[in-house]
């Protein structure tokens, strides 16, 4: 079954052993889905409008800003995941972002991936809601 295993998280110790870039890979997709869901529920009219609006939330600069605002709201464990993602050497270089923003964005995506894979859905939703709120206030 394609969706087998999604109903519960993985063992936290196993998720901790994953590469931060693997966590960021899944976190990027999860965050994108939450943002798209939020925008669709806001009643945006066209796919083009949805796409333009989504970029406000998912671009590296915005994600870096989210990390800086959330820093003191995160647990030590969550901040450790962000730092691991931020400090990981990536094979790609940012096209339209400052390197430091790109690194912090990778950290945020790693945290989202970590929470998702551990099945910490309540905390995941809390952080994504805060992220959306932070960008809406910017």
User: Could you say which of 14, 28, 49, 101 is catalytic?
Assistant: 28
Half-sphere exposure of 72 (CA within 13 A, CB side): 1
Q: How many CB atoms lie within 10 A of CB 118?
A: 20
Is 14 annotated in the active site? no
Spatial separation of the C-alpha atoms in residues 99 and 40, rounded to whole Å: 31
53-69: burial string, b at 16+ Cβ within 10 Å, e else: ebeebbbbbbbbbbbeb
Spatial separation of the C-alpha atoms in residues 24 and 17, rounded to whole Å: 13
- Which residues are catalytic, by number? 28
């Amino acid at each position: 079954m394609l969706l087998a295993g999604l109903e519960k998280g993985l063992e936290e110790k196993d998720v901790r052993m994953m590469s931060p870039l693997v966590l960021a890979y899944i976190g990027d997709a999860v965050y994108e889905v939450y943002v798209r869901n939020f925008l669709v529920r806001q009643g945006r009219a066209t796919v083009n409008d949805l796409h333009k609006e989504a970029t406000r939330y998912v671009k590296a600069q915005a994600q870096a800003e989210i990390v800086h605002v959330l820093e003191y709201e995160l647990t030590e464990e969550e901040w450790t995941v962000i730092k691991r993602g931020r400090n990981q050497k990536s094979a790609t270089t940012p096209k339209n972002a400052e390197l430091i923003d790109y690194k912090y964005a990778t950290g945020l995506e790693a945290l989202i991936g970590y929470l998702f894979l551990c099945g910490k859905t309540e905390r995941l939703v809390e952080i994504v809601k805060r992220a959306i709120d932070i960008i809406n206030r910017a």
